[in-house]
Chain A
């Protein structure tokens, strides 16, 4: 006891609030709060598992039911007619890729430019607030309404269902997702980085092109991929715009097949062959989305 003021007794004497007897510092696993904490931890754990059950069961089901029909023939052949055996959905794969491509070409440039306005040029203007609000509303927009809208604007005036109309309908759905994600990504670029660029003598355009867009690129790409994944699997907007076709695409101004519509059509048919193809097409659709996501992650990896 060379340093008496540090002993337990003297501390207790000095501090009125400290209990007279030294408390036990051992764990008490059966105490009420320990039990509560354990129970709640297990609960969150179960909830997390439950949340992943739908995804895994869908993928499992797709692989089991659709995997067996996957072959070169299903990937390239045209859809069979009612009592035919065999056949595939090559035209639907091409149609989906083309229409998603058109939608991406329309929505990504507009979306990113709009996001530049929202995030950098005039974030607090009335226009910006309005656009942001509308974009948020539009993300929850029933997708079938996009189809009806484009039907009225394009299908009726062009007097034909077309891949073009389908692409525009998907673009309408992708646009808000792209705008909001790109705005978020650009707004996250630290102000000090923009200051540095201005301090180097960049014009506003140069700050956006050389610093803000490259720094936010990975976030923007993630948003674009999310939008593409959503668009690729959407059937409702294509019902009124691209319709379907039993043949390969020859021109952008004729009815066009898509995986989503093929799945919708075939899964309701009373023929075993068509139902199997619907399963296989679902699997292919999921794989396409998956491949796009993986590619985006590789390309858009935050480099610095």
Chain B
């Protein structure tokens, strides 16, 4: 595994798990605009890695670089390496479509398909030509996403008929149905009310037993509640444009209580946002 020596030095973390994804981002461009630079973000197995930082700091861009979602934007350009179990997912031989099947994603807006609840969850399994017991896997995924009891009697109803919080949990069920290795969550609670948010947070903590999670959040309390490791991104405006970069990364407790960088301290105290 590609453990990052710098991080080892900074961390006071208890026994470190293996690194599932090691993002060694050098530069990310949208056209000529340098959006993010110099961010080394190792993602540990069975942990929740939270990405925090002010808006425009590139935390979502970094997250979306981890499953090559950004490739859908034609002007996006990535320099660096993201090694996933030792393979660079930006290698020319790598098919981004295959990458996304192993690294699932949950989006900011709940986005179920206009299909039944069942079909939503079965979507990825069918896509991958799953031959086993579909009903069983759908139930398992819905249970895993803590929404089985609410939807078990209406699996044929539209996924869009659910409430926002239920839709988001349905999307999580859809993402975990194929049992991906890593789940990327891009501000999954920002469109939810506080009660639904709390349920999704509890769910994330349950999910980390089986999955590795990277979570972008604009909500510092959320990072404190759920993240094991936190990466703080800042915005560099010294070159005349706004470029995001990793300021510091470490165990969540350390980032919030005794960060090494002054910028981090100011941010977690709420002095800017």
Contact = CB atoms under 8 A, between A and B. Distances in A.
B174 A304 contact: no
A214 B116 CA distance: 12
A9 interface: no
B75 interface: no
Contact of A196 (B101, B107, B178): B107
B127 A304 contact: no
The A contact surface, by secondary structure, is helix
Interface string A178-216: 000000000000101101111111110010001100110
Nearest to A191: B111
Nearest to A197: B113
Given A199-B67, A202-B97, A215 B107 contact: no
Chain A interface residue count: which class?
Answer: 20 to 34
A27 interface: no
Contacts of B105: 199
Contacts, number: 66
A13 interface: no
A245 to B, nearest CB: 46
B195 interface: no
B216 interface: no
B67 A304 contact: no
Contacts of B101: 200-201
A192 B171 CA distance: 12
Contacts of A159: none
B68 to A, nearest CB: 10
B58 interface: no
Contacts of B190: none
Contacts of B237: none
Interface string B18-35: 000000000000000000
Given A190-B111, A197-B113, A200-B123, 16 more contacts: A196-B107, A198-B100, A199-B104, A200-B101, A200-B174, A200-B175, A201-B97, A201-B98, A201-B100, A201-B124, A201-B127, A201-B128, A206-B127, A214-B114, A304-B158, A304-B159
Interface of A: 190, 192-193, 195-203, 206, 210-211, 214-215, 302-304
